[in-house]
Amino acid sequence: MAKGTLGQDVSDPVSTPEDDAPHRKAPPREVTPLGLFLIFARIGLTSFGGGLSGWFMREFVHERHWMSEDDFLNGLALSQALPGVNVKNLAIWIGYRLLGWRGAVAGFCGIIFPPAVVIILLGMFFSAIASFPLTRIALAGAAAGAIGLSLSMAITAARRLPHRVFPYLVLVATFAAAAVFRVSLVWTVLIAGALSVGYEYVREARQS
């Protein structure tokens, strides 16, 4: 009897055709839409100042082992290239990879709605205490933590690049275009993405 890569019997009668889709591995048995919603809600409610992609990686790759690091980084790259909020895109992608459209809905609702309610309440609270110096210090500390998480995520992604010259040239050029020359992100993503895809297509064609 065949076994899935995560140890699940792919012929188990409780599996659905959606779970056995060729483009997605069968999820672990403990993954449920409600469970995904609660995980994303907890991350969204306890991650102050941003940097949620680092928490996502720790939660789903390092602690729960529900997906590989390569799968996660592919989703991170896709979520950053698509329009909209990166963390929302990533939550939808992770949910879809694990539970199909039900997981995508759970990821979207979990990362959006509970934090939105808290943000409204906190906004009312901080507007009342904004004049106190301690408030600005607390916000600055949260921002520093978010920068550290984002930097950690960027270094991890950069280390997973293929050890070839061209990917690193694209990395440096993208950073220079966005951070130094202030090129529009739309043009940066389109040009860098087209060059990367074209390069990999030609390289694979030559190797085959």
Residue pLDDT, tens place only, 48-84: 655 688 889 999 999 999 999 989 999 998 898 888 8
- pLDDT per residue rounded down to tens, the chain (208 residues): 444 444 444 444 444 434 444 445 666 778 899 999 999 999 988 876 556 888 899 999 999 999 999 899 999 988 988 888 889 999 999 999 999 999 999 999 999 999 899 989 988 887 888 778 887 887 788 778 778 877 887 888 888 788 889 988 998 999 899 889 989 888 998 898 899 889 988 988 888 8
- Beta bridge partner(s), residue 3: 9
Instruction: Delimit the domains of the chain by residue range.
Output: 16-160, 162-208
**What pLDDT digit, counting tens, does each position of 157-168 carry?**
888 788 889 988
Residue where the block lists tokens 């440096």: 172
For the entire predicted model, the pTM comes to: 0.61
Q: Which class for 40: exposed (0-12), middle (13-18), buried (19 or more C-beta within 10 A)? A: buried
Tokens linked to 123 = 């906004």
